[in-house]
Amino acid sequence: MLPAAMLGGIVAKKQRQGSSALTGMLANMGSTIATFMFVWAIIRQYCPPVLSRSFEKYTRRLMGYFYPYIRISFHEFRGDRLRHSEAYAAVEAYLSANCSKDAKRLKAETGKDISSLTLSMDEYERVTDEFKGATVWWVSTSKIVSQSRSSISYYPEPEKRIYTITFHKKHRELITKSYLEHVLSKGKEIRVRNRQRKLYTNTSDHKLSGHRQTGWSHIVFEHPATFESMAMEPEKKREIVEDLLTFSKSKDFYAKIGKAWKRGYLLYGPPGTGKSTMIAAMANLLNYDVYDLELTAVKDNTELRKLLIDTTSKSIIIIEDIDCSLDLTGQRKDKTEKSSDGENEKLSKEIAKKEAKEEGSGSKVTLSGLLNFIDGLWSASGGERLIVFTTNYVEKLDPALIRRGRMDMHIELSYCSFEGFKVLAKNYLDLEMHTMFDVVQRLIGETKITPADVAENLMPKSLLDDAETRLSNLIGALEEAKEKAAKKEKEAKKKDEDVKENDTTEATKKKDEDVKEKGTTMEDAVQTKVDEETEKPL
């Protein structure tokens, strides 16, 4: 029914524009075809399927002689409906920007921020576009995706949306070569401009994911972190920013050397040193989406692959705390034991919690599955993806996981330096210099404090807290941390000495016993000798 309906729409449009003879002819043709389609729809109900199929085939051929129009469809999902089609998205953006003023029924969505609306054609709406003297007609439709009969569904069947373009066959060359290229490139440009970046997360809700079109759910990504606001050595910061910008502009270079356009970053360091903050800064710098992959929620390697396939270009895929995500290292138990040694109780609790979660989830993702996932980015078309791992225990990771080529850049995030503090002071206090900075500089050099702790102390605790109060809070925290560290060192030293002393006492005791034992043995030997001698016949 669609070609007839579309022709009807085309005719209506043309009539409004006042075209005369051609419009009349099209109108006649449109109504004839519509009548034919209607009659055929009725007959088909009573026809055996074999007959109806061959009838349809020959009718289509016959119609080809009278129906001089060509149709091209752009489907929302590609292939086995796992991947969103970028062509569809580009067409949608192009039509929203260029043709939606002609449409009477529009769909409104929020754009880059909540105050701006993006309008696109609603379903079954038609618009006309002109290109170098040729007219084309676009229609938006949708189709229910039928699910396999074996699976009983309690959810509505998902819909696939489709844009269809119709044009006269005499414009075939112009439309298929120049016009569509123009639509896709303009559409992509518009999408980048209006892009509302998203933070995607995967869920372990398998019941739901079977009925959704992807394994990811998303919210708008609005993290304000930037590299300027990050507390770290300026030189290191500059190096990372340059690396990222070079990557984002190297499409041709990657194509030339035959490598997929992807890059891996390993961020490691103690908790609270800014690993998550840096990922947000990376996403903001490059204007990328973020896919936060929770490995423990992934059922198996197959599901992992599906998730990868459904990531889009211009994105960062992150796996936080890779060492705790799964037993990829085979050494996790050691780590738990070491942490629970009393040194960092909070950390060990966190790890135990993650382990319990993993055990409950029954994830079967393996190290080789994960390596294939990373290397699979090679085959993921479209490229421009970053993959980022974070860990607090870099030494626990399997070397295969972090070798160059997989994790190209290893970035250590460490305790706060004075340079880092100055960035935080500027962010939090609007101060570049202050007399109290000298004390902070001395103390920060003498103890270890994370940027997260510095930031926390620079936060106002009441509306009356001025910069001096907050700097005093920080100095207090630094002094306390210094005292704690000194106390810990003293205790460790004492423990060492005790162990040494114990060892010495044990060794002396053992030596004495040995000597005693040896002495006894000697005495026994002498006595035996004497006995033997005395027992000898004279």
- Cβ proximity to ligand ATP: between 23 and 392 the closer is 392
- Which one of residues 135, 141, 178, 276 is an interface residue with ligand ATP (CB under 6 A)? 276
- CA separation for the pair 392, 214 (Å, rounded): 31
Subset of 141-170 contacting ligand ATP (CB under 6 A): none
**76-82: long-range pairs with CB below 8 Å, 24+:** 76/160, 76/161, 76/162, 77/160, 77/213, 81/145, 81/160, 81/213, 82/214, 82/306, 82/309, 82/310
- CA separation for the pair 315, 369 (Å, rounded): 21
Interface characters, 390-429, with ligand ATP (x: CB under 6 A):
--x-------------------------------------
DSSP for 153-182?
A: -SSPPPEEEEEEEEEEGGGHHIIIIIIHHH
Contact residues for 306 (Cβ-Cβ < 8 A; gap 6+): 82, 215
Question: Does an H or E element contain 130, and which?
Answer: strand 126-131
Contact residues for 211 (Cβ-Cβ < 8 A; gap 6+): 147, 153, 155, 158
Report residue 159 as tokens.
Answer: 């819909």
> How far apart are CB 182 and ligand ATP at their closest, in Å?
43
- Cβ proximity to ligand ATP: between 77 and 428 the closer is 428
Token pair 């994960």: residue: 370
- CA separation for the pair 71, 20 (Å, rounded): 24
Give the closest residue to 289 by CA, choosing from 189, 383, 191, 197: 197
Interface characters, 225-254, with ligand ATP (x: CB under 6 A):
-----xxx----------------------
- CA separation for the pair 504, 201 (Å, rounded): 57
- Which one of residues 197, 272, 282, 314 is an interface residue with ligand ATP (CB under 6 A)? 272
> How far apart are CB 282 and ligand ATP at their closest, in Å?
12
> How far apart are CB 270 and ligand ATP at their closest, in Å?
7
Report the alpha-carbon angle 263-290-407, nearest 5: 25
Report the alpha-carbon angle 196-200-205, nearest 5: 145
> How far apart are CB 264 and ligand ATP at their closest, in Å?
18
Give the closest residue to 266 by CA, choosing from 389, 150, 372, 115: 389
> How far apart are CB 332 and ligand ATP at their closest, in Å?
16
Q: 69 with 168: CB under 8 angstroms?
A: yes
Report residue 171 as tokens.
Answer: 């414009």
Q: Is 85 in the site for ligand ATP (CB under 6 A)?
A: no
> How far apart are CB 86 and ligand ATP at their closest, in Å?
32
Q: What is the 3-state secondary structure (H, E, C) of 371-416?
A: HHHHHHCCCCCCCCEEEEEEECCHHHCCHHHHCCCCCCEEEECCCC
Interface characters, 442-461, with ligand ATP (x: CB under 6 A):
---------xx--x------
- Which one of residues 85, 96, 277, 363 is an interface residue with ligand ATP (CB under 6 A)? 277
Is the dihedral angle over the CA atoms 121, 126, 127, 130 positive or is it negative? positive
Length of the chain: 538
- Cβ proximity to ligand ATP: between 214 and 392 the closer is 392
- Cβ proximity to ligand ATP: between 123 and 228 the closer is 228
Site stretch for ligand ATP (CB under 6 A), options 131-139, 180-188, 237-245, 271-279: 271-279
> How far apart are CB 277 and ligand ATP at their closest, in Å?
4
Report residue 63 as tokens.
Answer: 């119609």
- Cβ proximity to ligand ATP: between 370 and 416 the closer is 416
- Cβ proximity to ligand ATP: between 107 and 354 the closer is 354
- Which one of residues 237, 262, 275, 406 is an interface residue with ligand ATP (CB under 6 A)? 275
Site stretch for ligand ATP (CB under 6 A), options 235-243, 254-262, 273-281, 472-480: 273-281
CA distances from 218 to 1, 111, 232, 293, 468 (A): 37, 15, 30, 12, 42
> How far apart are CB 430 and ligand ATP at their closest, in Å?
16
Q: How many residues bind ligand ATP (CB under 6 A)?
A: 14
The number of beta carbons lying within 10 Å of the beta carbon of residue 112 is 13
- Cβ proximity to ligand ATP: between 136 and 347 the closer is 347
- Cβ proximity to ligand ATP: between 98 and 340 the closer is 340
Q: Is 293 in the site for ligand ATP (CB under 6 A)?
A: no
- Cβ proximity to ligand ATP: between 187 and 451 the closer is 451
Q: Is 271 in the site for ligand ATP (CB under 6 A)?
A: yes
> How far apart are CB 438 and ligand ATP at their closest, in Å?
22
- CA separation for the pair 365, 303 (Å, rounded): 9
> How far apart are CB 451 and ligand ATP at their closest, in Å?
3
Residue nearest to ligand ATP (CB): 274
> How far apart are CB 230 and ligand ATP at their closest, in Å?
4
Site stretch for ligand ATP (CB under 6 A), options 60-68, 224-232, 436-444, 513-521: 224-232
Residues of this chain that interact with ligand ATP (CB under 6 A) are 230-232, 271-277, 392, 451-452, 455
